[in-house]
Structure 1
Amino acid sequence: MAVLTANMMDRKGYFWGIQALRSGGLVALGITLFGVSPKPGLHGRGLAITITLAVVAAAWIGMIVFDIRKWRIQYPLFLLALSGGVLSILQQGPAIFVPAIAAFSAGSNLEPQISTAVAVTGALSLTATALVVGASTTAVLGFVVILATALAMGMIRYAIAERANTAEQLLEQSLRASAAETEAAVLGERTRIAREIHDILAHSLGALAMQVEAAQALLTQENPDIAKAVRCVERAGQLTREGLVESRRAVQALREDIGPLSEMIGALVAADGGTMATVGEPRKLPADAALALYRTAQEAVTNARKHAPGKATDVRLYYEADAVRLTVTNHLAETDAARPLTNSGGGFGLSGLRERMELAGGTLEAEREGDDWAVRAVVPG
């Protein structure tokens, strides 16, 4: 964006520089034309030159004002070409620069059709005036060539300016697209970090809360069971340490440095007392896909603890030719079984996992199958 700002400042300086040159050109033209013969006067041809010079000056000033006010500059340019054509014949010599400047300015600032019409107006004006006053054909042809040359130079400048404008617009679009892409990447990374934090809290703090609540129940009953309460506290400490490990693992995953998937899931299942089996030859997956499967296993284990306490989980990891599948099943709890952690957590585990799977190009299903609860996930790879 700094480049665009600098370009805008340069164009603004260039614009005002052009206006200053136009103003200086009008002064220089007046001084020059008042010094050549025939000179402006109050009788005959001198009076015609005086009137024409006044029109030229008005058209020239109009060209400057119209350009500054962003009005249609072709109107003063037509008048400048018309009066300049007359003046170039009445006072041959430097006066030819008047219609030439009109043709060049038109070619530089207007579309080709309009700029050509301005130049043709100047050519017709000087030709008609030449016929009236009897100017030589050679002079008329030379003046027409000068107008055509000025017009061609203006059109070349116009084409270069158009290309520069197009390049500047493309640069601006590219910078905006790059900024939008960067913003999208930042938002995506924030979403990814938020998802990791949610999964860690849902798994570690949910299990930790279960142990704390169990210890509290054991200590507040009529006959406190100190030994079991101590074991619950020890388990809570273990879960805290596991939570720290999970945090470090999440940081590694965010750095695209996740460990072997089968080992990670295996350690998770073993710590929970479940069973784990790997089918096929393990291979490295993209970080997002591997982390999505790991979080699926983690969420399934956490949900089993919450909704079916005491029921072990059975995990299967299948490495197939073009995909990796994960299934996690556990027996449903009895209808009257206590579920102290049923209402713990944010309640967004499965929806978050589905979103994660979709981002990794996979799918997730969770449903009851007879007396079991099954979670199935698959990612390409």
Structure 2
Amino acid sequence: MTDLPVDTSAAVSPRLSAAIARAQERRERRGRLLRPVLWGLLAAIAVGSLRAHPGPGAQGVHLAAALMFAGCVLPLAAVASGWWRITAPRSCVAFCLCVAGFGLALGALQHGSVSVLPCSVAVLTAFLVLPRRQAGLLGALVVGGLLATAAVGADGGMVDVVSQLLFCAVLALMAVSLRQAGDNEERAELLLAQLEDAREAEAEAAALAERTRIAQELHDLLAQTLSGLAIQVQAARQMARRDGAAEDLRELLDRAGRLVKEGVGDARRAVGALRGQQAPSLERLPELVERYRVDLELDVTLSVVGAGRPLPAAADLALYRGAQEALTNAARYARGAHTTVTLAFEPSVTVLTVTDRRSAPGPAPAPPVTGSGLGLRGMRERLGEAGGSASAGPTEDGWTVRMEVPA
């Protein structure tokens, strides 16, 4: 068979690998379908040789006929049974020469036998397996053998030779047509797989370009704004120290400065994630919880249940961002409540819950800043893209957010 049209210098995608595997499977299936044909030809050769004269025997010319007969049918039986694979060019040439050579010798010994059948098997196999040029050379060699045996009058007259040549030519054309159809089908499937890979790569490149544009916008708007805010907070801290402001005011300004600094860092990491850089993961969850506990004075604790395991990047980032959103809502709407973050590695899923519990009855204090309401929606969308889910709702003494992704 011809080589598959695949660029081996580049990495082969899973889609292209699957297409190559299907093409190889079809080739093997076509080879298995030829085995009954070989068995039929072997039976025809055996019947014709056993009925011809001189028949196979143990002495003299009969022994020579037996050896030629064995040299012809044994390779056929080996290939038909699958014991001898002739997909490689060398093994195919050896098979064709062996069958055709012994078949011509058998026809020279047994006048009137079916010596054209071994030659036709050689021609058919050559044009099905070998490159066309090699198959043509081998076919010409077989035809030369037929003409040589006819020239010395060892195997029938001119009419028999012409019919044998026509039969071989028909088989060669049939083999070329079958092989061309199979190669075209394989080539079309592989080119389709490569086209789908190219379209996917083009879509990824367009998405990366769009993320780069958004990252630039975020950098220009958010990061620079936070940087300006950090300068203003730093100036306010210096003025508070210069004017001898109250200790709680200076502490509040110090905390605000730290928050702005961390906000600048988060904005830079978000811009880096949009540009394809490494995004935060659950490994930084203890750091995130500690930051909310210290900087926002949130009464929050973290517990991990089960043995940790690596998660897909999308699921890992979705849980981390979900925890960040839930803690931000807790700091905004559940001031004075106790917040518990629980990361549970269950057998089939990984679950992250953020629960607020108020100790005093009554409504929660009014938040200092009102959110847009899009945080929970974005959390659900991000988890949904990672194959997970998110739910949020009130409890008897607070609020809980539950997020889970497949393990």
Query: TM-score of the superposition, structure 1-length normalised?
Result: 0.50
Larger Rg: 1 or 2? 1
